[in-house]
Amino acid sequence: MDAVRVCVVGAAGYAGAEVCRYVAGHPAMELVMATARAEAGAALASVYAALIGSTDVVLVEPDAEAIAEASDLAFLAVPHTAALALAPALLSRGVSVVDLSADYRLADPAAYRSWYGTEHTSPELLSEAVYGLPELHRGELAALAARRAAGKAVLVAAPGCYPTAAALACAPFLETGLPISSPVIVDAISGVSGAGRSASARTHFCHADESVEAYGVATHRHTPEIAQSLSWAAGHEVGVVFTPHLGPYKRGILATCYLQTAEPLTVEEAHAILARRYGDEPLVDVLAIGEQPATAAVEGSAKALLGVAVDARTSTLIVTCAIDNLGKGAAAQAVQCANAILGLPEETGLLRSLPPVV
Amino acid sequence: MDAVRVCVVGAAGYAGAEVCRYVAGHPAMELVMATARAEAGAALASVYAALIGSTDVVLVEPDAEAIAEASDLAFLAVPHTAALALAPALLSRGVSVVDLSADYRLADPAAYRSWYGTEHTSPELLSEAVYGLPELHRGELAALAARRAAGKAVLVAAPGCYPTAAALACAPFLETGLPISSPVIVDAISGVSGAGRSASARTHFCHADESVEAYGVATHRHTPEIAQSLSWAAGHEVGVVFTPHLGPYKRGILATCYLQTAEPLTVEEAHAILARRYGDEPLVDVLAIGEQPATAAVEGSAKALLGVAVDARTSTLIVTCAIDNLGKGAAAQAVQCANAILGLPEETGLLRSLPPVV
Amino acid sequence: MDAVRVCVVGAAGYAGAEVCRYVAGHPAMELVMATARAEAGAALASVYAALIGSTDVVLVEPDAEAIAEASDLAFLAVPHTAALALAPALLSRGVSVVDLSADYRLADPAAYRSWYGTEHTSPELLSEAVYGLPELHRGELAALAARRAAGKAVLVAAPGCYPTAAALACAPFLETGLPISSPVIVDAISGVSGAGRSASARTHFCHADESVEAYGVATHRHTPEIAQSLSWAAGHEVGVVFTPHLGPYKRGILATCYLQTAEPLTVEEAHAILARRYGDEPLVDVLAIGEQPATAAVEGSAKALLGVAVDARTSTLIVTCAIDNLGKGAAAQAVQCANAILGLPEETGLLRSLPPVV
Amino acid sequence: MDAVRVCVVGAAGYAGAEVCRYVAGHPAMELVMATARAEAGAALASVYAALIGSTDVVLVEPDAEAIAEASDLAFLAVPHTAALALAPALLSRGVSVVDLSADYRLADPAAYRSWYGTEHTSPELLSEAVYGLPELHRGELAALAARRAAGKAVLVAAPGCYPTAAALACAPFLETGLPISSPVIVDAISGVSGAGRSASARTHFCHADESVEAYGVATHRHTPEIAQSLSWAAGHEVGVVFTPHLGPYKRGILATCYLQTAEPLTVEEAHAILARRYGDEPLVDVLAIGEQPATAAVEGSAKALLGVAVDARTSTLIVTCAIDNLGKGAAAQAVQCANAILGLPEETGLLRSLPPVV
């Protein structure tokens, strides 16, 4: 088939540039357009030297009409609220959208208003959008693929980085109906790329280097998204305490999740639940009992690594998940979703790829 | 008064070398001897170039008799089990001991056997030893000071790095009798110096750099020590889940502690409890509401920094504590204990010091 | 064609594992065997978690007979002297060899003896071996390809990491006959992976982190190899001063080379020389005047990036080259050489690849 | 004597904050005022958490009149040009000045114009100002001390970070009259704190981390300052090629200096020259032959560490110097100069100090 023509909106940011990396190396996609307001006019490879020789796309200002003319599929790597108008504008012009922003992740517009402090202006799309965590929403993505094959533009809401790690870790247990004393505690740490490409006091090397700190404690916007995923998996509402930390490294999230189990569970049983759930997944690996995932093992990769332990003294299940926040936590997962709605094997272009851009 | 003559046993390790750093810069101590088996014969400053010009002590093999002849006070910066014989040998020769190993921290020899896998061979000292977390055990240290002033050699069991951070964070709340649903979850991360100076696969730069991983999940030996401190503070047994992580930096621990409160508690109330508890402490600072401690702010320092938040949706109290694992988590705290038993202001020699050795 | 059957000797080391990474993702190669004495019996992916799911090769002890039975081509990622016997053993059994060790790089066995302190035991191969820096020795590699096509096993001596960077930077100028006052100064810095996977005092995170130091000053074994490359390019002997440094990062070399020019040279002329020389190279990019390569831009990649400046006040040409020491400085270049002798486009399997292993 | 009342101008920048660190811990100085335009109104300790508990100074806008009223001595930690008006304003009000900016370092106002692109507006002070590298200008600083003791306000131009390292490394050899083929090559690397506290693309963690790059090649403004120091030492003009690099760490400079010697020099002779020159210096240590300084050994310290090697094949003397760019390269050296003009031992308050602020 002809290569799918792809536009990446917000290509100068880290997540957007990583989408470009995967698209430029993808056997079935062509990077035909990349937009970035501030850097319009510059070659993408002049912003990200790792892409020299791999793409000669020149950044342009985003424009729905121009995007629709050039592309079949658009990735929106934009801050929240920016996709509220852009996604409908593209969909109505026949362009399918994988949105990496937070705008279509929360099913409930009231939750969006409450956590993002602004009214959702295209709530009618919330029921259409599919939450793009393929390992947990494969059927819904297949339905989108069918609609797209029938000529309809479709919308995927790619998950946040922390919610991806937390959901991959916890969902298999909640799906089994294992009784859990709420709340689930998700303690996670991210590399600095998670704070974005804007230069700020927090992203200054001399602030972040050799240091760890918690942030957004009890207030981080990924909390309701994690709770939504865990509640979907459990079939009932699950409370979540989420504490993100900033760590002195570029890429990678480690989520350490604590579930108090009301019934005894051995580590062998816990491991079997994970292994069964993800045994056939090309992008999720479960480590042996006694091993723990290191974020470095997924740096620059599209994969998630999982580990599990049980603290029998306190009936606590401890599940850890390492992903690259820009990979399985953002760009790679967005491309995985795109593959799904294009009817391609999900891992297409994700295992062998151009080198990371940052 | 004459300077107290100090011997540091295990001076080639990170904690031992940091004790030497503080002692060599201390206005009332003199570093008269430093031992290290493998490096015996070398100048300490040839092992730690940061000490060039600050001390010309030459490392020697440890020998109780020689130590007793030369010193009034010995710091034992040795692996667990190494102090089981050495501490009694020194005490019986009139040398007071600040032991940085785990050997005299657990009051219950059965717990020692269970977690350290070996029989405690000097259990009679366990009731004499004082757990050296001065902010929580000041009275007991004062009693030791009195005994020492009366000519008796005394023994301090300096706490582990993680337990120091966890206890400083949680004890003030437990002391108030605040009802807490057990277990308390302590999720913590340490820099690589916490793994010691031995070269190993885990401490290789290319393994540790740009990576975070959990280790010792549900099995780390600091767990019973944390539980002991929290139980002492609460006045009853408190369950603890403890997960340490290894982070890509040299020095510093951040402990993020989760306490499920049975009664509503506002963040202002929580902050007031901490502020009251530590208001007069020279080595503990409590940040304002909304601020979170970064480990870099205590790198190379003797201090602890605390932050607090409340997740009202789930009735979770989240207390964070940053220390330098080699500072307040080891060497500086050991010197603070030594100051206490010498009758000096606890912070003597700790605020202004020689630069860090690693 | 059938995939070329490849054996990697020394696969547990960083360079060997990176060769495995490239081979396992290579469209025309198959990783049929990987050897490692110390780790024999373990799955390669258990040593390098980044390879989980990408290869299930199990490490075995190296044995020439077994290698010859299983493979068409062997990469030797071994310490110097280890290839002295192994390369002839494989060649005589019909296995072509790309040797990443230093054993066949120096044309003069006396230089080998002098710098490596041991007699060369297979000097007869030195005239057969081709120095595997394809951009500078393409014709010789083509000749090997022809010999191999004719059924002969051939030997490539893949260059050292520092020499690759220095030669790519300096050779184009020396080839033009530009008069240079000897010696050329090569000041370079490498990430810690250059020191290998063995745990040691120097590779301990707490030693290497946050620090830079020179090492092997005036004595590093890459000096004669750099001088050999520069002399080949100039057509006469060129003196070289080489100072390597160890930097606090995992991967990457930056070489800053100083050439005192006897005739004035503008930066435009200097840039034109580089641009002409490397304009068609798939794995070498020359930055615009005023730009300088950062090692991060080639981290995990197979490429070299070059920059140039002229200090007119002192008639000094300053050429900088960034490579990944494990990429273009080792594994990627070795695979590039293998591609060349297999008659494949040199960049095959190098632009899109599995993620880095370390 | 009463504590000297000190004002630090530009206290929110890294160098200024480090001056505050040293002053706040200094036995003979009192930090009475600290200025910072952007952060005026905030406590210094709220900007630098490491200073919590050590100073309660609140940042104010800089005002010459107010500074003169409150202080005896002012440190100017300001960008170049900012001291052109401020230094005369303070001197005329009787306040002695240690200027950390570049404004009074170059003796020749034409060089200032040429390299800084602006006219020097207080050139009459250039002959009064003493270049504050105490190890090389001790006599001139003593003369300032005498003038100050006589009631005159005096001006010290504290050196740049790179020039300090280069001058300490090279001056002893040039002072001996050793014939050197010009130019001297100074290849140096700095941690990111050298780029200042402003958030920018270059200081973003994700840009600087895991990367090394050259910058300001052939154009860096420290070049004429290095040349001036080397020429002073030699007694005749010395050409200099200077290439700074940015390294992935916070603090520290390593300068590797290459001098082509016209006469043979053994490493023993070279080492003896350094050892003699700095044998009595409290803040400069010379390592043994065969050892090389690591920047980590001077991180957070006031010291310089020197190493030397000779490449006999090419008659090249290679001298390395490690300093903390914020320590001996900025704040500590400024305090050392202040001690000198106050008639105190130069190292007062520099060996034992508060912990680093960044």
Measured in angstroms, the CA of D277 and the nearest CA of chain C are apart by 22
Q: How confident is the model at residue D56 (pLDDT cuts 50, 70, 90)?
A: very high
Rounded-to-integer distance, Cα C21 and Cα C332, Å: 10
A205 interfaces chain B, CB cutoff of 8 Å: no
Low-confidence spans in chain B with pLDDT less than 70:
1
Nearest-Cα residue of chain D relative to residue C300: D210
State pLDDT tens for residues A259-291.
Answer: 999 988 999 999 999 999 999 999 999 999 999
Q: At what angle do helices D134-149 and D222-234 cross, to 10 degrees?
A: 90
B297 touches chain D (CB under 8 A): yes
Does residue D1 carry a pLDDT above 70? no
Token pair of D295 as six digits:
């920047």
What pLDDT, on a 0 to 100 scale, did the predictor assign at position C212? 98
**Which sign, positive or negative, has the C-alpha torsion B192, B193, B195, B196?**
positive
Distance CA B140, CA B130 (A): 6
CA distance A112 to chain D (A): 30
Mean pLDDT of the A114-124 span: 96
Tokens at residue B300, please?
Answer: 């190379």
Confidence of residue A223 (pLDDT cuts 50, 70, 90): very high
Give the largest CA-CA distance in chain A: 61
Residue B161 designated active-site: yes
CB-nearest to B199 from C14, C193, C203 is C203
pLDDT for position D307: 98
- Residue C54, helix vs strand vs coil: coil
CATH code linked to domain A4-158+328-342: 3.40.50.720
Contact across the interface for C212 and D294, Cβ inside 8 Å: yes
Residue A282 with chain C: CB contacts under 8 Å = 53
- CB pairs < 8 Å spanning C and D: 164
> Is residue A1 pLDDT above 80, yes or no?
no
The predicted pLDDT at position D66 comes to 98
CA distance D41 to chain C (A): 33
Distance CA D199, CA D206 (A): 12
Place A182 in a pLDDT band, splitting at 50, 70 and 90: confident
Q: B55: Cβ–Cβ under 8 A, 6 or more apart, which residues?
A: B20, B24, B31, B44, B45
- The dihedral over CA atoms of A341, A344, A347, A348, expressed in degrees to the nearest 10, equals -120
Q: Look at residue C182 in the predicted model and tell me its pLDDT.
A: 78
Of the CA atoms within 13 Å of residue A162, those in its CB half-sphere come to: 30
Q: Quick one: pLDDT at residue B1? A: 63
Report CA A24 to chain centroid distance, whole Å. Answer: 19
Distance of CA A239 to the CA centre of its chain: 21
At residue D58, the 3 state secondary structure works out as strand
- Please name the residues in contact with B322: beta carbons below 8 A apart, sequence gap of 6 or more: A212, A213, B165, B252, B253, B254, B293, B294, B295, B297, B298, B304, B305, B306
**Residue that the structure tokens 């000071």 belong to:** B145
CATH of domain C161-325: 3.30.360.10
B-D Cβ pairs (cutoff 8 Å, strict) = 71
> What is the phi/psi pair of residue B239, to 5°?
-75, 150
Tokens of A9: 């909106």
Work out the pLDDT band at C89, boundaries 50, 70, 90. Answer: very high
Chain D partners within 8 Å of B351 (Cβ)? 25, 54, 354
Partners for B (CB, 8 Å, 3+ pairs)?
Answer: A, C, D
Per-residue pLDDT tens digits for A46-76: 999 999 999 999 999 999 999 999 999 999 9
Mean pLDDT, to the nearest integer, of C263-275?
Answer: 96
Is the pLDDT at C195 greater than 80? The verdict is: yes
* Structure token digits, residue B93: 């020769």
Q: Is the pLDDT of residue A145 over 70?
A: yes
**B residues 298-337 lying closer than 8 A (beta carbon) to A:** 299, 307, 309-314, 316, 318, 320, 322
3-state secondary structure of D2: coil
Q: What is the mean pLDDT of residues D249-269?
A: 96
**Min CA distance, C139 vs chain D (Å)?**
32
Q: What is the pLDDT of residue B2?
A: 87
Q: Do C211 and D258 touch (CB under 8 A)?
A: no
Average pLDDT value for residue range A166-170: 98
pLDDT of residue C1: 63
For B254, which of A213, A293, A322 is closest by C-beta distance? A213
pLDDT average, residue stretch A181-193: 96
Can you give the pLDDT at residue D182?
78
Are the beta carbons of B300 and B22 closer than 8 angstroms? Answer: no
Strand partners, D9: D35, D76
* pLDDT tens column, D32-41: 999 999 999 9
- Whether residue B49 lies within 8 A of chain D, CB to CB, comes out as yes
Q: Kindly list the strands in the beta sheet with B73-76, ordered across the sheet, starting from the edge strand earlier in the chain.
A: B29-35, B4-9, B73-76, B96-99, B155-157, B130-131
Query: How far is Cα C23 from Cα C21, in angstroms, rounded to an integer?
Result: 6
Residue closest to B48 by CA, chosen among C44, D285, A110: D285
**pTM as predicted:** 0.98
Work out the angle at residue D240's Cα, subtended by the Cα atoms of residues D235 and D243, and round it to the nearest 5 degrees: 150
A285 vs C50: CB contact, 8 Å cut-off? no
The C-alpha atoms of residue C326 and residue C333 are separated, in whole angstroms, by 9
The pair of structure tokens assigned to A16 is 């957007």
User: B42: helix, coil or strand?
Assistant: coil
- Domain ranges, ordered by start, for chain D: 4-158+328-342, 161-325
